[in-house]
Amino acid sequence: MKTTNWLRKFLVVLVSILTFGLVTPTDFHWRAQADGKNLKKDSIQESEVKQGYELLVTESPVYYVPIDRDVFVGEMILKAEEQSFSKFGGKITPKIEDEFKGAILPKIEQAIKQISRQFPDEELMQLAISVKPAAGRGEKIFHIYNEKTNEDVIRFHARQENPPKEGHWFNFHYHTYHDGFSTHYELGRIYWDKNTPPQWSDGSGLS
């Protein structure tokens, strides 16, 4: 034990002599502390860089691709026409097809354009068209609804009417969610005949 202490003192004196007093034992202590601090600082910086990278990777922003509203409306119109003739069936379609395309369908398109302007892109992408029209004497042609909430946005209907001494007519109209679908927005009327028209098809193509 004494030998060890003596050897340690001898080395300190030897170092002091060789360096002419430029390096003292306290210098060794200071440098050790400085090296430790630098090492700790480098470690902290490396950790911050790593955390920043992980944050960049795990919290990347979500981007929405802008939807082309004209394309959206065009697709809706094609589906609207398909659902309409599906409802009319093989007995009604041949007689009213041309008038429906010329007078009613353009107004349906305008209504869809108007309603589409009320939704931002990310919500517009959630809108879809129903695929089951009402059969018999039911009015529903198709509804446009939000797939996420399953709530209707606009409802397109056709009602069979028989005013006194005027024969039978098809009344086309729509309702919107703004007033709970209570207001009746007229699209137009198409004359059928003096006789009662057939019932609407169930969409199966059998009527």
Mean pLDDT by 10 residues, the chain (207 residues): 56 54 48 52 53 47 64 94 96 97 97 94 93 95 96 98 96 97 97 96 67
Give domain limits for the chain: 2-58, 69-193
What is the model's pLDDT at position 10?
A: 57
pLDDT at residue 68, rounded to an integer: 85
Would you state the pLDDT for residue 202? 76
Question: In this predicted structure, what is the pLDDT of residue 59?
Answer: 46
Distances (CA, A) of 163 to 132, 167, 168: 28, 7, 7
pTM, 2 dp? 0.68
Q: Residue 60: its pLDDT value, please?
A: 45
Q: What are phi and psi of 139, to 5 degrees?
A: -90, -25
Q: Which residues contact 165 (CB under 8 A, 6 or more apart)?
A: none
- Does residue 155 contact residue 174 with C-beta atoms inside 8 Å? yes
Give the 3-state secondary structure of the chain: CHHHHHHHHHHHHHHHHHCCCCCCHHHHHHHHHHHHHHHHHHHHHHHHHHHHHHHHHHCCCCCCCCCCHHHHHHHHHHHHHHHHHHHHHHHHHHHHHHHHHHHHHHHHHHHHHHHHCCCCHHHHCCEEECCCCCCECCCEEEEEEECCCCEEEEEEEEEEECCCCCCEEEEEEEEEHHHCCCCCEEEEEEEEECCCCCCECCCCCCC
